[in-house]
Structure formats: C-alpha cells, structure tokens
Amino acid sequence: MNASLRTAYGQTLVRIGETNKDVVVLEADLGKSTMGAMVEQAYPDRFFEMGIAEADMAAVAAGFALTGKIPFIASFAVFVPGRCYDQVRTSICIPNINVKLCGSSAGLSDFGDGATHQSIDDIALMRVLPNMQVFSPVDAVQTSLIVGHMAVNHGPMYIRINRNDLPILTKESDGFVPGKVYTMREGKDVAIFATGITVSLSLEAAEELAALGIDAKVVNVPTLKPVDAEAVIDICRATRAFVTAEEHSVIGGLGDAISAIAAPVLARKHIRMGVQDTFGTSAQDYQILLEHYGFVPATIVKAAQDALE
C-alpha cells in the first residue's frame, strides 16, 4: 500500500491544530502542493500566504516564534532551505528559535521540472547548521509521527518530504525517537543504511542479495541529524561492510553522517549510493529518473557486493 507523505504532513498539522492554537503555517505560493493549504481550510486565521518570498517567510516565521507561536514554513525543498538559507542561518539557527521547516517535493521527486526544482543538496545545507535537526521520513506514517514530534519539541527542525506516494513500511505503534535508527531487516554480512525512498529499494535489494547468499541488514535512518552513534557503531561492528543509500548527493548527506560515526572507530569498507556530484534532470515520470540515477534495487545489490569484496 502506498500513501502520500505530503497529505500526511497537512493532515497532521490540521489534527495538531485542534488542540494547539499556537501552531501557525506559512506558505510561499505552493500550499496546494505542500498540503499546507489544508490548514488554510481548517484554520484560516492561522495560515499566512507569503507569496513567492521564501526569505521573507523565514524571517516572519522567526518573528512568530519570538512571540511564542510555533511556525511551520514550507515550500519545495529546493526553495526551503535554498532561497532562505541566510535567514534560516541568521534569524533561526543562531538564536536557536522554534521554527519548523518543511522541504516538500524533495530529492528528484519533482521529476518533470528538472535541475532547478530537484533538491539533491538540502540535507547537506541543513546538517551543517548548528542547532538544526534534520528528518527524512520513510513513509506517510512516519511523516505524521515526525511532524507531531516537531510541534511539541523546541528548536529549529527540517523535514524533507517526497512528492510521490511511497510504500507504507512503518506503523504508528513504532513511535518516533529523534536520532534512532530502525532495523527493517536483520542480516549479518552487510548493513545497508537508507533513508526516504531508498529504504523500500534496499528491502527489495536485500531479497535479491539473499538469493545470492548474502545476508543484508536494512536500516532506516529517518533522522540525519542527530544520529545515534552507538547504535550505528554496533550495527557496523556486527557486519563486514556497509552501504549508504540516499536520494541526495553523496556529498554532505547520509553517507557523510554514517561515515563520520563509523570510520574513526571501525575498519569497514563503505560504498555510497546516491546522486554522484551532479544535478538532476527532467523526465516523463519518477521511475525513469530513479533508474537514470541508479535508484533501483540492482544498484544497491551491486554496491553491497562491492562492499564485501
């Protein structure tokens, strides 16, 4: 079963708004796509359309936070944080104030609009900022849990959301703990750390690897900052090599986060699967684009095999 992460984002904010009137939503002319418009319909007095002015939106959100409100700002991930990076850095992260950012249509998922609208650098931009927490949910259920967490915990936080419906791989009872890594499949030979859409692809790859006699552990990493270092080291120590898979540049994202934890402690071969230092491009559908950049189980199978050599 597939479901929309964007819809989960909007529905969760509406649900939270039933009891928490401090939550406000700011949009930059894309509320119907990010689904922030659901809040406009439910609570028009708590919705603020800022127009195509992402920098102004971030600065206004900072002002809202200083008055005790809990602002959520959203746009395509290439625009938030891209077009408002200075305001996020200076007005939100340096003073460590309570603003939440949603980068919608993240990664390559806005397949038709090409490089200008595909964010393969947003995780890197957000991870580097002190005080910022960074989330990348695997499905609609986890999206709802993370948005709920963001609403009740203080500080700058960023969530990246895929534009397309993705398989449901979690359940609400799993809960969400920031920093925690979630084992989706046990294995002793190679660990595959994945985030977002690459989790389902890694699970498919693990089935193919099993047929080849390779036992792969698949780990969902929904938090890119912070990451439970002890858990990552334990996983890497229990396997012979590891792979990281992310719909993002291989520079500055999940691969760097896991390597920074494991490399100083363990001698393990690490293969990074992601966008190889290039921009996106247009395609007729998402699957064509995923195949073009190697986001298919066969690529992960090959990465795991290479890691074990």
pLDDT one-digit tens code per residue, 258-309 = 999 999 999 899 999 999 999 999 999 999 999 999 999 999 999 999 999 9
Q: What is the pLDDT of residue 56?
A: 98
Claim to verify: residue 163 and residue 196 sit in the same structural domain: no
Q: 161 and 189, same structural domain?
A: no
81 and 122 in a common domain: yes
Domain boundary among the residues 167, 201, 231 is at: 167
pLDDT of residue 141: 98
Co-location of 92 and 193 in the same domain: no
107: DSSP letter: B
Residues in the chain: 309
Kindly compute the dihedral angle of the four CA atoms of residues 46, 49, 53, 55, in this order, to the nearest 10 degrees.
Answer: 0
Q: For the chain, give the percent of residues with pLDDT over 90.
A: 99
Task: Record the tokens describing residue 163, joined without a space.
Answer: 């534009």
What whole-number distance in Å separates Cα of residue 61 and Cα of residue 91? 9
Mean pLDDT taken over the chain: 97
In a domain? residue 25: yes
CATH number, residue 261: 3.40.50.920
In sequence order, the β-bridge partners of residue 217 are: 191
Domain assignment present for 254: yes
Residue type, 161: I
What is the domain range of residue 198?
Answer: 182-308
Q: What is the mean pLDDT of residues 211-216?
A: 98
Are 246 and 196 spatial neighbours (Cβ–Cβ below 8 Å)?
yes
Question: According to the model, what pLDDT value does residue 49 have?
Answer: 98
Domain annotation covers residue 256: yes
Strand order, beta sheet including 241-249:
182-185, 216-220, 190-194, 241-249, 269-275
State the pLDDT at residue 97: 98
**What mean pLDDT is predicted for residues 148-163?**
98
- One domain for residues 149 and 245: no
Whether 35 and 156 map to the same domain: the answer is yes
* Total structural domains within the chain: 2
- Round to whole Å and give the CA distance between 301 and 272: 12
Same domain, 91 and 7: yes
pLDDT at 223: 98
Q: In angstroms, rounded to a whole number, what is the distance separating the alpha carbons of residues 95 and 154? A: 12
d(CA 226, CA 179): 5
Distance separating alpha carbons of residues 106 and 99, to the nearest angstrom: 19
Among all chains, which residue has been given the structure tokens 């912070």?
Answer: 226
Assess whether 199 and 124 both reside in one domain.
no
67 plus 190 within the same structural domain: no
Closest of 110, 116, 140, 203 to residue 4, by C-alpha: 140
Q: Which residue has the tokens 């992460």?
A: 5
Residue with tokens 């690529």: 299
Same domain, 239 and 129: no
Provide the pLDDT confidence category of residue 110 given band limits of 50, 70 and 90.
very high
User: Which pLDDT does position 162 carry in this prediction?
Assistant: 98
The values of phi and psi at residue 128, to 5°, are -75, -15
- Which pLDDT does position 73 carry in this prediction? 98
Residue 35 has a pLDDT of: 98
Residue 41 lies in a domain: yes
Asked whether the beta carbons of 291 and 297 are under 8 A apart, the reply is no
pLDDT band at 156 (very low <50, low <70, confident <90, very high): very high
Q: What is the pLDDT of residues 60-103, one digit of tens each?
A: 999 999 999 999 999 999 999 999 999 999 999 999 999 999 99
pLDDT of residue 158: 99
Cα separation, 23 vs 61, in Å, equals 11
CA distance 202 to 219: 9
5-49, pLDDT tens digit by residue?
999 999 999 999 999 999 999 999 999 999 999 999 999 999 999
